[in-house]
Structures are given as C-alpha cells and as structure tokens.
Amino acid sequence: MDYYSARSLKFVKFLNILSTAVLLIVLTGCYDTAQTAESEPGQLSSGAFLYISTPKSLKFESNGLQIPTDLHLWLKDYDSKKKKFLANMSKGATDFCFSSDGKFLVFSSNTTEPGAIYLASTLEGKPKQLTDGNTSVACPILSPDNSKIVYSSWDNDEKWNLHLMNTDGSQNSKLTERDSIDSFPTWSADGKKVIFHSKEENGSWHIYSIDLDGTNVNQLTSGKGMDWLPCASPDGKHIAFWSTRNRKNWEIFLMDTDGNNIRQITNNIGEWPVGSSICPVAWTPDSQKIIFSASENSMNSKIMQLEISTGKCIQLSEEDENYCYAPVWISSRAKDELMAKGKLLITPTSLSLE
C-alpha cells in the first residue's frame, strides 16, 4: 500500500503518528542549537527529551494493528530521570515543535479536514492560524534560529510538496515542486538547507537536500531499499537515517552531510511493518549519541540510546511503559520552562494549562 497516494484524513493521521518525533520540539535540525553552545565537545549538558507512550498495550484486531487513541507526551530529565506527563496528543493538536526557550510552539491540527498549522504561546492564549486551511498539512519544523517553518503540504498537483514560511506565517511559498513525493523535512545544522526524504516515480525512496531558495537539490542516497527520516547532527558533520538497504528490517545508518561514507550503526532493532516505531532519531547536543525507538517485538518498543563511537546501547524508557517512541532532545532552558508549567491542553482555538 502506498500511504502517500491517498488524499484522506486517515492518511494525514497516519502521517502525524509516524512523524511525531520530527515534530514534537525544537527540532531545529533534530536538535537545539542553543543547547549545543552550552556543551563542550564530548560533554552532555543537562537537558531532557520528550517521547510518546501509550497507556494501553497495542493489539491486533480484524482490521490490523490498533494504536490506542490516547498518546501521552512525556518529558524526562536526562540526568535526574525525573519524568513529567506533559500533554495528551489526542486532544486536537499533533506535530508539536517547541522553540528553544520553550515559550512558544508550532503545531498542526486535523480535527477538521483538511487541517492547518498554528503558532501558540505556552503562556496560554488563542493560537494563531498560519496556513489557510485549504490543504492537508503536516510536519511543521522550526529552523535553528526559530525564524522559519518548513512543512509538508498536499497541494493542488495532488502531491506532497515542501513549503517554507516565516514563523508569523508570512512569505509562504513552495520549496519543492517535483515529480516526486517530498516529505518529513528537517534542517541542516547551519539552517541553510532543508533535508528530506522523497519517493521517486520508480518507487524508490531516497534522501535529498535543498537550499532555501529551492535551488541546489542534491540526492544524498541511492540504491535499493528505502531511505527515510534524515536527521542532521548538531556539529553539522553527519546525517542519521533509517533504511532497509541491507535487509528487510529497518536499521539506522549514518552518512556524512554530502552523502558519502554511509555505514550501518545498529543491528536488528526495527521490525517492519510496525511503522509507528520507525521515527527520526534525536541527537544529543554533543553529537556523540543518538536516542531512538526500537521494536523489541511487533507489539512494543522502547526508547534507546546509542553511543556512536563505542556502539554501547542502553535503554532510557522504563520497563513498565507501553509502546514508547518518537524521542526528541530539548535544551535545559526549554526543559526548565516546561517542567515549571502544568499539563498542556492544546487545541486550534485555545492553549491552556490543566
């Protein structure tokens, strides 16, 4: 089944679930540039990560895998392991992306078809609608300096294209308009390029980069298999991505930012076709580790951390948590801001604290 060929609310909801990791927080290239400045090479500043878990276990029914309607967003301090329930992802808003100071966020909502992208202050108030609501949208991602948003849009040409706009919604324009399906964008470390995965007319999936003016489209991966969900390291040297290029299972690969030196860094962690655990990785701000979700079986997944230089892998989620996925690193500033707040209730008409 080609998920990207259907123009339907059901598809958009699937896209939102699959892409939550790219979208939860300060995904300014899958990391927080402000946090990077706080760290010396090889050291990890006190920050936190967000992830999703389900209050109930997954189960198979006659119509396939059933994902619970309640998707809980948790904030966990990296050092103290203190955990806080932050929001229920099923209350009308999806695809969260917080600013580096934790004081505002962008999100998409598809409570009514086709949906729109919104900007909101975490100090409460009515969110500002940034897109016109005439097309299905997903994956809004803030640039490293929080000045721009890149997102996916189902346009009149009946393809998923990438769009770019200012954070206030102005100067909205198409970034890509190709004979392909372009989706799941992220940012380069310096904010000068957008990196994304694309499905070509021949059915292959590969990773590309593009300048912000729509020029210099570079194909970074090739060959057999599916290359998905790129995420640039904070130091600007590497891109991590999921791929099936070596086997049927999904594995995490690493490459230089120019597409050279591709190598596999995990082994037997991603079961297919459990798509909801195949989410973008999160880099720690020192660029030495990645945090990701891994399926231990078709009914569960855990949050793991891999140290790239040694291959050492440890589990960060707790044993009694159900189906954990979509981890995203946040800075100590954003952590403190969000730890001090109550539980967020976010809808297209209001943002409040429960």
How far apart CA 119 and CA 332 sit, in angstroms, is 22
Say whether 85 sits in a helix, a strand or coil: strand
Residue 4 has what pLDDT? Answer: 33
Report mean pLDDT in 10-residue bins for the chain, 354 residues: 32 38 36 40 62 68 58 85 80 67 76 78 77 87 91 84 95 91 92 94 90 96 91 95 84 95 85 56 91 74 90 87 80 80 63 54
* pTM (two decimals): 0.82
How far apart CA 26 and CA 223 sit, in angstroms, is 32
Phi, psi of 129 (to 5 degrees): -80, 125
Whether 341 and 351 have beta carbons less than 8 Å apart is answered as: no
Residue 6 has what pLDDT? Answer: 32
CATH of segment(s) 3-353: 2.120.10.30
The count of other CB atoms within 10 Å of the CB of residue 42 is: 9
Residue 280 has what pLDDT? Answer: 81
Say whether 163 sits in a helix, a strand or coil: strand
Give the start-to-end residue ranges of the domains of the chain: 3-353
Residue 334 has what pLDDT? Answer: 80
Q: Which two tokens stand for residue 199?
A: 């499905």
27, 89, 107, 78: which is closest to 281 by C-alpha? 27
